[in-house]
Chain A
């Protein structure tokens, strides 16, 4: 086929400097190990302060079927009731409620998300990362793109949408069918982009901001697809 080649070739990793490469890789590896563990909250909450913020944002759009391994029937039922996607939710009150601030709210938000398994060690080709300095906080920003497998339903499941539920979808373009339809609550593989603003402190880290974007699963752009096995000819 005819090809237009982008002037900037896509790179799997970018780090502003070698020190950040080491520090942020260590941070992400440890963070995801804890995130995937049964006691997610107990291990991670010490990294958050009373001013730290966390939110989840669901991008429910379906990629074209010609994108490699694209899930054409994605399930977002566990995320949409908590999603702070301002492209879909316009209610100021809802957006405020869906921004978790401080350890207590962040712990609740963590428990409302499915348990997961990332494959950082087993499949490093499945992840891309950019780390840049963030001088305004004397820290850095890490952006990780990749995928995870949902392994269990959330510890805190979304209650039915009764009146007074703070997570009712009252936004202009939101759709409650995501949270009420059992089919949309099945466990599956998801792609994600996660952005942390991290401040190194006393040999550890403080997370000032943590935004998790959950997307429909697709193969990525930065790694080659696995080779198709060539069938062995069978002797007549």
Chain B
């Protein structure tokens, strides 16, 4: 199944690299890089000028079964209201859909969260730790109001995620701008010793 204009030999490598890039963006706590991530989504052009061609339809984003209004809203929420994450890709497959100019990617990954009690900016705000609960489940991970936890992340156990991306086939021509037409991200399993509640 060859797609004209796309380098079929490089497709698996490019697909995997792109998906890894998306996961790395999700893990990036640096707010100043948010724009780099935003530019990957269809219809999101933060530098649009008056008179420019009509923007592409906005990307569809469905996170844990909830639709986000747009990429900017989702990324802002992710950056400001979700603690630091660490994703690891475990499986990936993709199909180039003939005649549509699009690619469907299906990825599974595992993700863990910083359960130290700090948000991405290091503020002690995201995890409310009731008095006396730190370390109460018998493991030795630093928690909440432990002073050591303020110095570094305290990764919790892994969650499982399933992620689907519909990409523009321009991604195979090294054009990353606005290539994400849709992103669905669903947490499919949850460890019971995590502090995160879905």
Instruction: Indicate which residue in A2, A13, A63, A219 contacts B128 across the interface (CB closer than 8 Å).
Output: A2
For residue B55, CB closer than 8 A to chain A, the reply is no
Task: Give per-residue flags for B159-178: 1 if the beta carbon is below 8 A from chain A beta carbons, else 0.
Answer: 11010101000000000000
B43 CB-CB contact with A under 8 Å? no
Q: Chain A nearest CB: distance from B6 CB in Å?
A: 14
Q: A3-B197, A63-B189, A215-B160 are contacts. A137–B106 as well, Cβ < 8 Å?
A: no
- Asked if A10 is an interface residue, CB under 8 A from chain B, the answer is yes
Q: Tell me, yes or no, whether A29 is within 8 Å of chain B by CB.
A: no
Q: Pick the contact of A136 from B100, B159, B164, B198 — CB < 8 Å?
A: B100
Contact present for B104 and A197 (CB under 8 Å): yes
Closest to B113 in A: A4
B147 at the interface (CB under 8 A from A): no
B 70-86 binary contact with A (CB < 8 Å = 1; else 0)? 00000001000111000
Q: In whole angstroms, what is the CA distance A197 to B165 when docked?
A: 12
Given A64-B158, A215-B160 in contact, is the A57-B93 Cβ separation under 8 Å? yes
Chain B stretch 100-124: residues in CB contact (< 8 A) with chain A: 100-102, 104, 106, 108, 110, 113, 115, 117
With contact pairs A4-B127, A6-B196 given, residues A209 and B95 touching in the complex (Cβ less than 8 Å): yes
Q: Are B66 and A14 in contact (CB under 8 A)?
A: yes
Q: Which 3 residue pairs spanning A and B have beta carbons closest together?
A: A11-B65, A59-B91, A57-B93
Given contacts A1-B137, A2-B144, contact A132 B62 (CB under 8 A): yes
Q: Do A1 and B158 have beta carbons less than 8 Å apart?
A: no
A86: B residues at CB distance < 8 A: 12, 15-16, 92-94
Set of chain B residues within 8 Å of A87, measured between Cβ atoms: 16, 89-92
Count how many chain B residues have C-beta atoms less than 8 Å from C-beta atoms of the other chain: 72
Given contacts A85-B93, A128-B65, contact A6 B198 (CB under 8 A): yes
Tell me, yes or no, whether A67 is within 8 Å of chain B by CB.
Answer: yes
Chain A residues near B (Cβ < 8 Å): 1-14, 16, 51, 53, 55, 57-59, 61, 63-64, 66-68, 70, 84-88, 90, 92, 95, 99, 101, 128, 130, 132-137, 141, 143, 145, 191, 193, 195, 197, 208-209, 211, 213, 215, 218-222
Q: Which residue of A lies closest to B67 (CB)?
A: A14
Question: How many angstroms from the CA of A220 to the CA of B160 in the assembled complex?
Answer: 9
Shortest distance in angstroms between A87's beta carbon and chain B's nearest beta carbon?
Answer: 5
Known contacts A4-B127, A55-B93, A215-B108; is A14 also within 8 Å of B62 by CB?
yes
Complex CA gap A6/B194 in Å reads 12
Find B98's partner among A51, A99, A218, A222 (CB 8 Å cutoff): A51
Whether B158 pairs with A63 at a CB distance below 8 angstroms is yes
- Chain A residue contacts of B166, Cβ below 8 A: 134, 136, 141
Q: What is the minimal beta-carbon distance from B13 to any residue of chain A, in angstroms?
A: 8
- How many angstroms from the CA of A88 to the CA of B92 in the assembled complex? 9
With known contacts A136-B102, A143-B184, A59–B90 Cβ distance under 8 A: yes
Q: Give the complex CA separation of A11 and B62 in angstroms.
A: 10
- Residues of chain A lying within 8 A (CB to CB) of residue B181: 136
* Shortest distance from the beta carbon of B137 to any chain A beta carbon, whole Å: 7
B133 at the A interface (CB under 8 A) = yes
B contact residues around A193 at 8 Å (CB)? 106, 108, 162, 188
Within 8 A of A (CB), among B140-165: 143-144, 157-160, 162, 164
Can you add 10 more A-B contacts, CB < 8 Å, to A2-B195, A9-B198? Answer: A8-B66, A10-B65, A66-B192, A87-B89, A87-B90, A87-B91, A128-B65, A130-B184, A143-B164, A191-B189
B19 to chain A, nearest CB (A): 9
The answer to whether A137 touches B93, judged by C-beta atoms less than 8 angstroms apart, is no
